[in-house]
């Protein structure tokens, strides 16, 4: 399947959750690569596509990859999501049921490492450099491939903004923008009925998607994964906020990974994905119910009802905002700069407002979370507003 061109063949894939900004990144990469003399392949469904290729020149592999042209990316580049599709697939840990059909006789364990197939498929396609766009799970497997000798340049993407080594991940700004917008939409109902408004947002281990909108005034309080909170403290603070508000309502943003003091994360079910993560969701329901239950203690014996909303995919869908239209273009061109210089094993990043690159291994070395002591007021359950001077654009989201 090896295909020759003036410079060689590049492959792009998108893995993990979708976010606005992926298609602009693919467009930028494709335009630049084609004009520099490369051919470009788009791997479909992230690592799943690269894992499932049938190594036969006569085989129909259109569901696994396709050659990308300027015509294809021109229209898609203005839209949200990823036209290459995505999946939560980890080739080094594939459940038996997800092994591609043509490989099931060779990989019949409950969990299987299909990395040997991935390496053979890259060689079959004639890929010179692989460009994965994803979060720390997707990129951690790219680190594995680097160690196997594959030339990789990674681009960070996740609306949680929790990839180590970079201040910014594609999708974060749109997530914050949508969260602010939808919080403001829901205020009219909360005010009309004089209620607590509880909004559950993304954030498994990092609370940036709750912190930034709260900093911007979208909520009175926020609870985050990095600090286990007392529900009584939250109820008292929200009751105080409600009394001070002429419209008699108050708002709290709840990260999906937030935990009650003495409690653990709340899951929709215990079935893990290929990355080993059970599906989070439901802490907002519990917070809402508990606030209503104990509200009389802080409201002169009166029950305060709640409006409870999980934003979930509403902040993933739709077109990217301005930042998630500009940064992906810069990241794509930065990745191509590295490739043209013969550099690989790198991650393109934003640090202190400047574009740069770091060793891709950084994604496996640490976790990027909110610095509670520096940025979160544990007594008031909201961001700290001091010491802003010389902080980067998104402040507490710096790496």
The pLDDT > 70 percentage for the chain reads 94
pLDDT at 266 over 90: no
Neighbouring-strand partners of residue 358:
347
The answer to whether residue 279 scores a pLDDT higher than 70 is: no
Class of domain 174-317+372-397: alpha beta
Task: Using the predicted structure, report yes or no on whether residue 75 has a pLDDT greater than 70.
Answer: yes
Q: Which residues are catalytic?
A: 160
What local confidence, expressed as pLDDT, does residue 3 receive? 44
Residues 361-399 pLDDT 10s: 999 988 999 999 999 999 999 999 887 787 888 877 776
Q: Would the pLDDT of 21 be above 90?
A: yes
Average pLDDT over residues 14-29: 97
Q: What is the total residue count of the chain?
A: 399
Q: What pLDDT score was predicted for residue 91?
A: 97
> Given this chain, do its domains 8-170+320-365 and 174-317+372-397 carry the same CATH topology?
yes
pLDDT interval class at 1 (50, 70, 90)? very low
262 token code pair: 């003495």
The answer to whether domain 8-170+320-365 has CATH 3.90.660.10 is no
* Predicted model pTM: 0.93
Give 237 or 272, the one with higher predicted confidence.
Answer: 237
User: DSSP labels for 29-98?
Assistant: HHHHHHHTTEEEEEETTTHHHHHS----TTS--TTTEEE--HHHHHHHTTSSS-TT------TTSEEGGG
The CA-based angle 140-207-182, given to 5 degrees, is 115
Provide the pLDDT for residue 150: 98
Q: Give pLDDT tens digits for 176-210.
A: 999 999 999 999 999 999 999 999 999 999 999 99
- Per domain, the residue ranges of the chain are 8-170+320-365, 174-317+372-397
Q: Would you place residue 27 in the very low, low, confident or very high pLDDT band (cuts 50, 70, 90)?
A: very high
pLDDT score for 2: 42
The predicted structure's pLDDT at residue 169: 97
Residue found under tokens 């994604």: 363
- State the pLDDT confidence band at 280, using cuts at 50, 70 and 90: low
Q: In 54-81, which positions are buried (b, 16+ CB within 10 angstroms) versus exposed (e)?
A: beeeeeebeebbbebeeebbeebbebbb
């Amino acid at each position: 399947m090896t295909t020759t061109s003036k410079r060689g063949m590049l492959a792009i894939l998108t893995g993990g959750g979708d976010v606005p900004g992926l298609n602009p990144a693919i467009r930028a990469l494709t335009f630049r690569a084609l004009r520099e003399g490369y051919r470009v392949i788009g791997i479909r469904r992230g690592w799943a596509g690269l894992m499932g290729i049938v190594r036969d020149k006569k085989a129909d592999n259109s569901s696994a990859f396709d050659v990308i042209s300027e015509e294809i990316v021109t229209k898609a580049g203005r839209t949200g999501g990823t036209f290459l599709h995505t999946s939560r697939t980890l080739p080094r840990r594939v459940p038996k049921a997800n092994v591609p059909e043509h490989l099931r006789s060779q990989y019949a364990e409950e969990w299987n490492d299909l990395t040997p197939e991935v390496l053979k498929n890259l060689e079959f396609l004639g890929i010179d450099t692989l460009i994965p766009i994803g979060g720390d799970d997707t990129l951690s497997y790219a680190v594995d491939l680097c160690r196997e000798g594959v030339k990789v340049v990674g681009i960070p993407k996740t609306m949680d903004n929790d990839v180590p080594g970079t201040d910014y991940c594609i999708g974060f700004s749109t997530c914050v923008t949508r969260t602010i917008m939808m919080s403001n939409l829901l205020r009219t109902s909360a005010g009309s009925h004089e209620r607590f408004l509880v909004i559950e947002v993304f954030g498994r281990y990092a609370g940036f998607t709750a912190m930034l909108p709260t900093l911007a005034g979208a909520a009175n309080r926020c609870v985050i994964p990095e600090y286990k909170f007392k529900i009584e403290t939250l109820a008292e603070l929200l009751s105080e906020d409600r009394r001070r508000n002429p419209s008699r309502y108050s708002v709290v943003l709840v990260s999906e990974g937030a935990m009650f003091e003495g409690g653990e994360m709340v899951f929709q079910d215990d079935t893990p994905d290929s990355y080993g993560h059970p599906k989070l969701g439901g802490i907002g329901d519990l917070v809402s119910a508990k606030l209503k239950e104990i509200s009389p203690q802080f409201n002169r014996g009166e029950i305060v009802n709640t409006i409870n909303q999980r934003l979930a995919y509403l902040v993933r869908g739709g077109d990217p905002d301005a930042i998630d239209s500009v940064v992906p273009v810069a990241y794509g061109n930065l990745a191509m700069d590295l490739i043209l210089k013969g550099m690989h094993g790198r991650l393109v990043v934003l640090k202190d407002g400047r574009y740069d690159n770091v060793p891709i291994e950084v994604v496996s070395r640490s976790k990027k979370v909110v610095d509670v002591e520096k940025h979160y007021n544990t007594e008031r359950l909201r961001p700290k507003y001091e010491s802003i001077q010389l902080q980067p654009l998104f402040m507490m989201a710096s790496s």
